[in-house]
Structure formats: structure tokens, C-alpha cells
């Protein structure tokens, strides 16, 4: 009896180590896998294809909306329809592997697990002629050998953090889209399906995709972006997530507005609490107690992908030039800012802003300004390409007040419209 119980205990412990433990870490907790991105947008991913009836129609929908998605495909199906895999790649979509035959990891032996993943990668690489580096296990479920295999082959396990249960036929397109819209945010990885599931479900997926392609940029002001993961340690990812939570909280409680899905500026309606501001001809534009608006940088949209500081700075300037006319049009057509005469910011990054029409003024050295400077240095440590190794003596550690008058800001919209580039957008959309 004792030895039987002991043997059963060893069997249960071994089964847990093979199934539950790796699944908890990689699937449930996202340790050792990627359940989200660190980007300003939303990524659409599709599992279980390709399907000759559904996938071509889905690709056409993505092309119509100019969305680059990621397909995690079943290698067995890919071998049957290689032309669909090639079409995905030719149209700019990314491709990962979703196993060879969609087996559940917990009930797959170690030998069969290795064979499943090795064969699946081999099939896809033969079709595409390029290396496959991303994998997603069926149902997002791992066993110990799955984890060991992906570590040995330097594969990235890519999961998701938003789903609409589109594999269930009872989920209408509206229900699928609404479920996804409630949870999606910057960095979201959305999982949908271009095959598998219940009979008739893919038709709902196609219709839901049309709804999401319109609503996510329009209502949430988020762009669609391809999968792209930074070369960050777990500690860096954790630090970013904590800071991101704070930014979301601040934006929600202070009603910070996004301009559109790509603009690097955000606006906060506030009451001015600084020194008197005068126009060039001596007119008083703002004094303490007047309505004003603070311009915030949407930091995640300036996030650097490499460690080249000069390229990062040039990219930021380019994004600012593109964003200014849209910011001006947003202000011109949004009644919330109709009484605001000045738009202000307190920042360490004041060099170069005069070229955009801003005035730069010194501020008193107060606890508030010191706190803002400290916060901004923390932000740069997270977002700057050199991270904590950033060294820039010119930057200093004191913030300055930068501001621009309403008239000067609106001149961006007028100039853009005169050049024929401007498109007036509904400020409340």
C-alpha cells in the first residue's frame, strides 16, 4: 500500500512538472512567452489556417483596410495550400507556426512533441525559404518538452491578451467586436481564427474583422501594427508595464485626449497656474486661473527600436512635424478647447521646440518642477534607446515652460490645408 501510494505520488508530481508547471509559467503568467507587445498599437493574429474558402477573403479584407497581421498556421494545412502561405508573405503579413496537426500539449508524448514542432517548422521554411522564429501552441498550452524545444531552437512563444471567442458560431460579429473593443489597448495582441472552430463561425470572424478595422482607429485612436518585440529583459518589461499602468491611470483621471491613432501629442484641458504669458505684440494671453491646455507627449509612440540615438531623435522630429497639423485641426474643430488661448508644457526636452513656434521660459525651482523633472528622467530611462546608460549633459535636470499661442498653433492647420495635404477630421470621432 505504501509503495503504491508513493509511486502514485511520483507519477502525479511528474505529470504536473510535464504539464501544469510549464503551462502556468508560459501560458497563465506569461513568463518565458510574449502575451503582449510594447508598442503603441494593436496587432491582429489569426490561428488554425490556412483555409482555401476563408483565408483568401480574410486577406482581401486586410488589404482593403491596409492592415498587416500575423498568421500562426497549421503546417499540415500549409503543406496542402502553400500558395496561400506565399500570398500571406507577399502581401506583407508575418507568419508563425501553430504546430503540425493541432495536438493538445498535455496529452502529447515528449517524442511526439519534438516531432510535431520540428516537422512544422521544416514545412513552413521550405515553403517560404526563410527562417521561422515565432510559435504559438494550440490553445496556448505548453508541456515541458514544448518549452525545452523552443529554448533549444531559439523560438519565441507568442500568445495573446485579447480574444473574442470567434470560434463559437453563436458569437455574432457585433458580439465578437464588442468583446475585443472592451479589452484592447496599446500593445494588445488579438487572437482570431481563419479556420477551425464551429461550422459557420469563420463567416462571423470575417464580418467582425471589418467592424474592428473601422472602430479601433476611430473610437480608440489606436493604430494597427505588426508584431515587433524589443530585446528587453524581464525586468525591463516589468518596469515598462508598471509605468504604463500609471500613464493609463493619469490619462483616465485627467481626461487626457488622444488626437488620432498616430499623433504623438495628447491634450489635457486644465487651469493655467504659471507666470503671465504675452504675445509678441504685448497682448496678455494667459494668467493664473485662465483656461489652458497641456500638451503631453504620447511616450510609447516615440519608443525607440534600436540604440542609435541620432536616428531616434530624427524620427521624433519627423513625427512631430507630421503631428502638428493634425493637432491644430483637432483643436480648431473641438469645442472643448475653443476658449483656450495658450497650449503649454513643462519639459526637459525643450531644445528644438522653437522651430515649431513654441516659446521657452524658465520656471522657478520648486518641488513641483523637481518632481516633474524626476518623472521625465524616469520616462527617458524607459523609452530612450540607451536606457539607463543614457548620457547627455546638455539635457540638464531642470524643466522649462514651453508654450504656443492658439493663433500660432492653428497656423499649422491653415498651412497644411493650403498645401493640399490637410484633411479635416471630426474632433469628436
Identify the residue with better confidence: 290 or 17.
290
pLDDT mean over 18-28: 89
Predicted model pTM: 0.87
Identify which of 110, 116, 115, 164 has the alpha carbon closest to the alpha carbon of residue 136: 116
Identify which of 156, 89, 143, 154 has the alpha carbon closest to the alpha carbon of residue 116: 143
pLDDT digits (tens, 9 = 90+) for 209-248: 999 999 999 999 999 999 998 887 777 788 788 888 888 8
Residues in contact with 84: Cβ distance below 8 Å, sequence separation at least 6, in sequence order: 49, 50, 52, 55, 56, 78
pLDDT digits (tens, 9 = 90+) for 345-387: 888 777 778 888 899 888 777 677 666 667 667 666 666 545 5
10 Å Cβ neighbour count for 229? 14
Q: Flag whether pLDDT at 171 surpasses 90.
A: yes
The helix, strand and coil proportions of the chain, stated in percent and rounded to the nearest 5, come to: 50, 15, 40
Three cell numbers, residue 177: 467586436
State residue 427's pLDDT score: 36
> Cis (ω within 30 of 0) for the bond into 339?
no
Q: Flag whether pLDDT at 420 surpasses 70.
A: no
State residue 63's pLDDT score: 97
State residue 348's pLDDT score: 74
* Residue pointed to by grid coordinates 504659471: 274
Local structure of 71: helix, strand or coil:
strand
Identify the residue with better confidence: 385 or 336.
336
Where does 272-354 show beta strands of DSSP type E?
277-278, 284-286, 291-297, 342-347
pLDDT digits (tens, 9 = 90+) for 61-70: 999 999 999 9
State residue 132's pLDDT score: 96
Amino acid at each position: 500500500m505504501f509503495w503504491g501510494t508513493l509511486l502514485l505520488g511520483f507519477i502525479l508530481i511528474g505529470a504536473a512538472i510535464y504539464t501544469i508547471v510549464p503551462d502556468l509559467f508560459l501560458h497563465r503568467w506569461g513568463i518565458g512567452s510574449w502575451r503582449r507587445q510594447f508598442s503603441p498599437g494593436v496587432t491582429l493574429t489569426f490561428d488554425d489556417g490556412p483555409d482555401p474558402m476563408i483565408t483568401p477573403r480574410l486577406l482581401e479584407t486586410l488589404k482593403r483596410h491596409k492592415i498587416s497581421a500575423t498568421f500562426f498556421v497549421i503546417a499540415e494545412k500549409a503543406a496542402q495550400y502553400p500558395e496561400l502561405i506565399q500570398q500571406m508573405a507577399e502581401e506583407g503579413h508575418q507568419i508563425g507556426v501553430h504546430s503540425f496537426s493541432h495536438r493538445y500539449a498535455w496529452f502529447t508524448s515528449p517524442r511526439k512533441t519534438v516531432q510535431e514542432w520540428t516537422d512544422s517548422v521544416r514545412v513552413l521554411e521550405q515553403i517560404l525559404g526563410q527562417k521561422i522564429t515565432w510559435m504559438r501552441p494550440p490553445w496556448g498550452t505548453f508541456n515541458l518538452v514544448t518549452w525545452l524545444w523552443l529554448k533549444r531552437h531559439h523560438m519565441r512563444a507568442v500568445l495573446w491578451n485579447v480574444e473574442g471567442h470567434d470560434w463559437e458560431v453563436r458569437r455574432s460579429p457585433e458580439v465578437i467586436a464588442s468583446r475585443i473593443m472592451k479589452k484592447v489597448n496599446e500593445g494588445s495582441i488579438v487572437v482570431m481564427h481563419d479556420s477551425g472552430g464551429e461550422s459557420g463561425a469563420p463567416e462571423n470572424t470575417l464580418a467582425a474583422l471589418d467592424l474592428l478595422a473601422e472602430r479601433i482607429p476611430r473610437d480608440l485612436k489606436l493604430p494597427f501594427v505588426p508584431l515587433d518585440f524589443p530585446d528587453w529583459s524581464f525586468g525591463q518589461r516589468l518596469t515598462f508595464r508598471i509605468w504604463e499602468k500609471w500613464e493609463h491611470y493619469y490619462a483616465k483621471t485627467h481626461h487626457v485626449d488622444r488626437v488620432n491613432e498616430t499623433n504623438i501629442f495628447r491634450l489635457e484641458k486644465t487651469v493655467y497656474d504659471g507666470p503671465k504669458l504675452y504675445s509678441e505684440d504685448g497682448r496678455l494671453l494667459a494668467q493664473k486661473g485662465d483656461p489652458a491646455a497641456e500638451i503631453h507627449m504620447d511616450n510609447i509612440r516615440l519608443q525607440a527600436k534600436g540604440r542609435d540615438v541620432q536616428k531616434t531623435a530624427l524620427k521624433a522630429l519627423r513625427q512631430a512635424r507630421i503631428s502638428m497639423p493634425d493637432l491644430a485641426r483637432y483643436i480648431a474643430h473641438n469645442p472643448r478647447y475653443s476658449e483656450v488661448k495658450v497650449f503649454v508644457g513643462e519639459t526637459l526636452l525643450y531644445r528644438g521646440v522653437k522651430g515649431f513656434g513654441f516659446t521657452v521660459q524658465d520656471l522657478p525651482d520648486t518641488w513641483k518642477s523637481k518632481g516633474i523633472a524626476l518623472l521625465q528622467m524616469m520616462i527617458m530611462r524607459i523609452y530612450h534607446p540607451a536606457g539607463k546608460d543614457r548620457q547627455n549633459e546638455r539635457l540638464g535636470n531642470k524643466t522649462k515652460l514651453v508654450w504656443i499661442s492658439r493663433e500660432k498653433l492653428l497656423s499649422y492647420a491653415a498651412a497644411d490645408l493650403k498645401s493640399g495635404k490637410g484633411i479635416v477630421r471630426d474632433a469628436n470621432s
